[in-house]
Structure 1
Amino acid sequence: MPGIVVTGIPRAPLDLINEFARFGVATVHEAQGRSGLLGAEITPIQQGVRVAGTAVTATVAPGDNTMIGVAVEQCQEGDILVVAPTSPCDMGYFGDLLATSLMARGVRGLIIAAGVRDIADLRDMGFPVWSRHVSAEGTRKGALGDVNVPISIAGRIVRPGDVVLADDDGVVVVPRLDAAAVARASREREETEERARVRYLAGEIALDVNNMRPMLDTAGIRYVDYDSWKDGGER
């Protein structure tokens, strides 16, 4: 039966969470073994925003946003609210009033596999949202879901207390207990990319920067002179 609200969830240290905001979603996704990325159907309503925070999770009934209001009470500074309906629904679960309440508690954004509305107001307020739909159709109240339990959203399991990073490229989730190791791997990947960037700026190409030539040789790549190729000498 729904109606569980788990209180006092463990969170990663805020300074560690803040460090993730230095990295892009793509960097973190690659750094943790190409895992944790939410499906591409979850998209930002704004541009040029990157946020990192602790996941507070909620499930909501189709067409009913009661549990978002319940989840607000469990949120604190540095959190990101992650919401999934128990059955697919594109209605507008969330708008400027709920955003105002979350902002007052220091919440950094919303990830929702459903609809949001009041888009212009949310952008003007500077409250970041990544959603599956935009819809002016409002929801009712009275049906229960759960707060701070593991939820399935956009092809991934998100657990309360996980680290969430979101930007223009999408959303990636890092398990709380892996956060320090993934942050370290992300730093290392960023340093590697910076060294590669210097080489690209100097005129080198990916085949050499990424040492791809041995791999291509093993795969059997052949380079054929055009005149030979057009005359049928090589196929």
Structure 2
Amino acid sequence: MRNVIVKNIERAGHTSVELLKPYGSATIHEAMGRTGLMSPYLRPIYDSAKVCGTAVTVSCHPGDNLMIHAAIEMCKPGDVLVVTVTSDSTDGMFGELLAVSARSRGVQGLIIDAGIRDTTELTEMDFPVWAKAVSSKGTVKATPGSVNIPVVCAGVIVNPGDVIIGDRDGIVVVPKGEAETVAQASKARIEREDHVKDRLAKGELGLDIYSLREKLRALGVIYVD
């Protein structure tokens, strides 16, 4: 396959991204019919990390961050770098210097299916990162790859311009053409949950709210003293 850097991509609209920002990854995942969730082995480097922005995708050779440098030039304010590798890698492919460069372009955070380093500095910068590993092992800048092509990151297809939502619970990908619809579904879900929360706080049981007693009976579950 030819290595390419796609300069102009269609991003989800700013309004749609803003509509998604109030909602967590779990709410959005459920609102999309339990789709779009990356594998939970990608973890934030600090607990308060949160991001919502449009994807700039990067395909790298393992242990080589050349294409991350190339990708940063393609970034616009509000973007999130989504980095994949062509085979398994835990090398520290991203650190403080790349974060400083990315932030200067308005990048909101990083999702990387590989390793990172300089976690203390990244945390002090409040630069949100979700990674597969933390490793002091450095990288080279020698092998071509691609920027802004469809990639698979932690088990999910990501197209350039899709919306990336990350928090302590996980990372979810919203296709750019569905962002506004998903935001509306997320809002409706939160409203339903708030109603249920009020009932639970007053002492009602989930067994009754969700009509689970009937399900238990249908499954043959019996109560005994």
Which band: TM-score by shorter chain?
A: over 0.9
Q: Determine if contact 1:2/1:144 at 8 Å carries over to the other structure.
A: no
Detail structure 1 runs of 4+ shifted over 4 Å in the superposition.
Answer: none
1:47 partner letter: D
1:205 corresponds to: 205
Larger radius of gyration: 1
1:126 corresponds to: 126
CA distance in 1, matches of 2:177, 2:43: 26
What stretches of structure 2 of length at least 5 have no aligned partner? Answer: none
2:214 corresponds to: 214
Aligned pairs, how many? Answer: 225
Alignment of 1:86-105 (within 5 A): 86-105=86-105
CA distance in 1, matches of 2:58, 2:143: 13
Counterpart secondary structure, 1:157: strand
- CA deviations on 1:129-166 (whole Å, 9 max, x unpaired) are 00001001110012111100010111111111111100
Q: CA RMSD in A?
A: 1.0
- What is the percentage of aligned positions where both structures have the same residue? 47
Alignment of 1:130-209 (within 5 A): 130-209=130-209
Higher alpha-carbon deviation: 200-209 or 59-68: 200-209
CA distance in 2, matches of 1:50, 1:61: 27
- CA deviations on 1:194-216 (whole Å, 9 max, x unpaired) are 00110111111111122222222
Q: Determine if contact 2:59/2:83 at 8 Å carries over to the other structure.
A: yes
2:34 corresponds to: 34
Deviation, structure 1 residue 2: 4.1
What stretches of structure 1 of length at least 5 have no aligned partner? Answer: 227-235
Counterpart secondary structure, 1:9: coil
Deviation, structure 1 residue 15: 2.4
CA distance in 2, matches of 1:3, 1:77: 25
1:74 partner letter: M
2:4 corresponds to: 4
CA distance in 2, matches of 1:214, 1:177: 39
TM-score, structure 2 normalization: 0.97
Higher alpha-carbon deviation: 134-143 or 208-217: 208-217
